[in-house]
């Protein structure tokens, strides 16, 4: 709901439980009024009438109160917008007009030839903001910085900042620490979202998993980005974020050109971190993820088992075993194309390797379909090996600086996707590939960061940072439109490209190259703060885990860990015993039963993975499932019962595993006993209301 005051200068946007209010002063300053529980327009008008606190000549009263602080004038905060023209720098805007359209508010300002439109839209309790900059003048403008939005928190003492951090094979680990005076900046200057942080922050003062106020903000951009959380000298807190890491020049706008910033979404919840996560998940399933109401299938992928050493016959044997275990989607990973027998060659040449697939991919795809499974492949379209036909033909199609080294990571360079000829080449290759065989799924990888992001000959080469992402999005959108039955997975050496932008055009993400079932618990715990299980791919791989740590764990433990997301199998099935295959078949069958709850239900994190017991619960309608994992039991002490969530205290629930009937009130207040013992034990407990 969107309400406008009679004077056309105060607005309140409301979701089911929350409101967001802004006010435009007589001097055209756009001030933040409220973000929190629902309020009425009259409440916002009282807030609008409150004068800003005064200050000395060393302070700017506007600081910490503006919705979109521009550069210049009486401000000392980090500007959300920094514009340069041949004559001047900074912005001094005047209000032009406002427009309302359902739940969307547009506030339009002008400064000489530049039009600045701030967009606000409510999606349930999530507020989406973005900014559109139009050059309506006659001279070029340089956008040094153009953030999506600035979010302002209410005055409180002692905020705590939560975010996730990590690196390759160790992504999205949650940290929470006191915010102090100054700025905390997270982001990526790597050209992709990065393994180091998900573009998300949460702030609270005293929230728990179950209760308390939580503010969260998440950016939808798959290139370099920055979110800065500032505690100002008067203790007010503002969060500013957008595309690009630095102020060194984002884009140059010629007369008539415009730039739409990425989306910056945010929410307030008074139901703790659990409530905030459930609101994020529901928002993404309803408004971000394509076809989110469709189940994601159980997949098999042989990457960990076979690496580059693949052949049609070997893949067929694996496919037979996978089908017998109940797998629904068989994926051929790296190594099927060009001269790709190692990571030294082939990227760029997206046609099947004639030695390995003499008749192309169709025979294998048909065989996989005849086994009752969908067929998928791996690609890494934005990359190129110098040892490829493409590079030999077009050495200038990569990002490079004239006269400088071309840095290779994993023996590969990054294609310059800002170039139209590169865009067209990739479209033709991928469209041709998807038309050449019945392909149902594409794992789209991105295995190195930008290092030499230059474009010799272009008047404004910096733009390739932004234009790469725009071209990636356009290519994905075009492929999805031409091949509506194909699902896409975003992968970047695991979780290096996960954000609301890529999620609006992919069906799931590869959470991490780390498939160790114990490490995964913390990775999944951090990931679940923002994104739903519906997109969180998780594989069961071999034990010992030779890839990472030689850890030995049971199939039971590996399956229960992976069943908390979109289940996949990534072990060498040709080495699994008949007993192991039979056990896998049972776990996969059980996963298919609980899948509607896991992929579409409400998540309750019962116990964080801190070394002992950890557990998640998914509920949907009258059903609930608990996935509980015990890392280590100590001193023979009994494992504590799990207090469940989201149940009706007056109802009775049958546990399908034990046949026992429990009162809802007992499960909520005294808990469910798991029967877990020893080290690396795990269980799945299903409950049905009777």
Given the structure tokens 């579409």, which residue do they identify?
Answer: 600
Rg (CA), the chain: 26
CB neighbours (10 Å) of residue 145? 21
**Is 516 a catalytic site residue?**
no
For residue 284, give the DSSP letter. Answer: I
Rounded Cα gap, residues 189 and 199, in angstroms: 13
> Is the four-CA dihedral 203, 204, 209, 212 of positive or negative sign?
negative
Q: Compare residues 269 and 512 and give the one whose CB is closer to ligand GLA.
A: 512
Q: Compare residues 279 and 492 and give the one whose CB is closer to ligand GLA.
A: 492
Give me the least distance between CB of 142 and ligand GLA, in Å please.
37
Q: Which two tokens stand for residue 188?
A: 């990526």
Give me the least distance between CB of 343 and ligand GLA, in Å please.
6
Bridge partners, 204 (sequence order):
160, 214
Give me the least distance between CB of 685 and ligand GLA, in Å please.
31
**Is 440 a catalytic site residue?**
no
Ramachandran region of residue 307, left (φ > 0), alpha (ψ -120 to 50) or beta? left
Q: List residues binding ligand GLA (CB under 6 A).
A: 303, 333-334, 378, 445, 447, 491, 493-494, 510, 513
Smallest CA-to-CA distance from 265 within 605, 531, 537 is with 531
Which are the contacts of 634, defined by CB distance < 8 A and separation ≥ 6?
612
Give me the least distance between CB of 357 and ligand GLA, in Å please.
17
Query: What is the distance of C-alpha 72 from the center of its chain?
Result: 34
Which are the contacts of 402, defined by CB distance < 8 A and separation ≥ 6?
454, 456
Give me the least distance between CB of 300 and ligand GLA, in Å please.
13
Give me the least distance between CB of 98 and ligand GLA, in Å please.
46
Residue nearest to ligand GLA (CB): 334
Please provide the DSSP assignment of 52-119 as one string: PP---TTS-TTTTTBSSPBSSSS--SPPSEEEE-SS-BS---EEEEEEEETTEEEEEEEETTEEEEEE
Q: Which of 63, 334, 440, 513 is catalytic?
A: 513
Which are the contacts of 589, defined by CB distance < 8 A and separation ≥ 6?
326
Q: Which of 204, 445, 499, 542 is catalytic?
A: 445
Give me the least distance between CB of 532 and ligand GLA, in Å please.
21
Give me the least distance between CB of 306 and ligand GLA, in Å please.
11
SS3 labels along 628-664: EEECCCCCCCCCCCECCCCCCCCCEEEECCCCCEEEH
Ramachandran region of residue 291, left (φ > 0), alpha (ψ -120 to 50) or beta? left
Q: Compare residues 131 and 447 and give the one whose CB is closer to ligand GLA.
A: 447
Q: Which two tokens stand for residue 154?
A: 């209410």
Question: Residue 178 belongs to what H/E stretch?
Answer: strand 173-178
Largest CA distance in the chain: 79
Local structure of 673: helix, strand or coil: coil
Q: Compare residues 303 and 425 and give the one whose CB is closer to ligand GLA.
A: 303
Q: Compare residues 209 and 333 and give the one whose CB is closer to ligand GLA.
A: 333
Catalytically annotated residues = 445, 513
């Amino acid at each position: 709901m969107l309400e406008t005051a009679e004077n056309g200068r105060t607005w309140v946007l409301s979701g089911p439980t929350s409101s967001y209010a802004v006010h435009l002063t007589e001097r055209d300053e756009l001030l933040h009024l409220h973000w929190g529980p629902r309020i009425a327009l009259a409440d916002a008008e009282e807030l609008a009438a409150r004068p800003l606190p005064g200050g000395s000549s060393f302070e700017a009263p506007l600081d910490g109160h503006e919705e979109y602080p521009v550069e210049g004038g009486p401000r000392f905060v980090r500007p959300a917008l920094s514009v340069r023209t041949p004559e001047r720098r900074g912005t001094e805007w005047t209000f032009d007009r406002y427009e309302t359209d359902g739940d969307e508010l547009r506030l339009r300002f002008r400064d000489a030839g530049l039009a600045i439109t701030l967009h606000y839209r409510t999606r349930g309790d999530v507020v989406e903001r973005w900014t559109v900059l139009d050059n309506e003048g006659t001279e070029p403008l340089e956008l040094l910085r153009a953030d999506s939005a600035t979010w302002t928190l209410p005055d409180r003492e002692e905020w705590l900042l939560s975010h996730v951090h990590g690196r390759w094979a160790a992504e999205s680990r949650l940290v929470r620490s006191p915010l102090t005076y100054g700025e905390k900046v997270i982001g990526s200057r790597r050209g992709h979202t990065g393994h180091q942080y998900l573009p998300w922050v949460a702030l609270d003062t005293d929230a728990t998993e179950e209760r308390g106020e939580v503010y969260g903000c998440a950016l939808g951009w798959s290139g370099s980005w920055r979110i800065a959380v500032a505690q100002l000298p008067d203790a007010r807190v503002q969060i500013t974020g957008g595309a690009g890491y630095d102020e060194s020049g984002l884009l140059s706008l010629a007369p008539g050109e415009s730039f739409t910033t990425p989306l910056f979404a945010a929410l307030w919840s008074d139901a703790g971190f659990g409530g905030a996560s459930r609101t994020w998940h529901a928002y993404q399933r309803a408004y971000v993820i394509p076809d989110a109401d469709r189940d994601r299938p159980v997949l098999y992928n042989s990457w960990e088992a076979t690496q580059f050493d693949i052949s049609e016959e070997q893949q067929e044997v694996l496919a037979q075993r996978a089908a017998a275990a109940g797998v629904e989607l068989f994926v051929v990973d790296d190594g099927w194309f060009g001269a790709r027998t190692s990571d030294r060659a082939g990227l760029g040449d997206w046609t099947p390797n004639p030695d390995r697939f003499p008749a192309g991919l169709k025979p294998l795809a048909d065989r996989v379909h005849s086994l009752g499974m969908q067929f998928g492949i791996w690609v890494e379209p934005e990359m190129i090996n110098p040892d490829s036909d493409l590079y030999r033909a077009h050495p200038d199609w990569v990002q490079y600086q004239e006269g400088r080294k071309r840095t290779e990571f994993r023996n590969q360079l990054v294609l310059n996707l800002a170039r139209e000829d590169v865009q067209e080449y990739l479209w033709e290759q991928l469209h041709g590939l998807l038309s050449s065989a019945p392909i149902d799924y594409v794992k789209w990888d991105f295995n190195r960061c930008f290092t030499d992001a230059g474009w010799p000959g272009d008047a404004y080469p910096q733009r390739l940072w932004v234009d790469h992402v725009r071209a990636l999005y356009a290519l994905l959108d075009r492929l999805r439109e031409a091949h509506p039955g194909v699902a896409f997975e975003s992968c970047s050496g695991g979780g290096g490209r996960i954000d609301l932008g890529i999620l609006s055009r992919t069906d799931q993400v590869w959470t991490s190259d780390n498939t160790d079932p114990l490490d995964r618990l913390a990775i999944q715990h951090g990931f679940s703060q923002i994104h739903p299980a519906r997109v969180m791919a998780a594989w069961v791989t071999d034990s010992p885990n030779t890839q990472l740590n030689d850890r030995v764990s049971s199939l039971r433990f590996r399956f229960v860990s992976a069943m908390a997301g979109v289940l996949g199998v990534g072990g060498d099935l040709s080495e699994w015993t008949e007993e192991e295959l039979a056990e896998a078949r049972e776990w996969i069958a059980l996963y298919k039963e609980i899948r509607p709850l896991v992929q579409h239900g409400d998540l309750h994190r019962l116990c964080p993975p801190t070394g002992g017991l950890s557990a998640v619960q998914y509920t949907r309608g009258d059903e609930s499932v608990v996935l509980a994992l015990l890392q280590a039991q100590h001193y023979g002490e009994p494992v504590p019962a799990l207090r469940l969530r989201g149940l009706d205290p007056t109802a009775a629930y049958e546990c399908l595993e034990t046949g026992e009937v429990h009162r809802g009130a007992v499960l909520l207040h005294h808990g469910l006993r798991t029967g877990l013992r020893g080290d690396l034990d795990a269980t799945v407990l299903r409950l049905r209301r009777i």
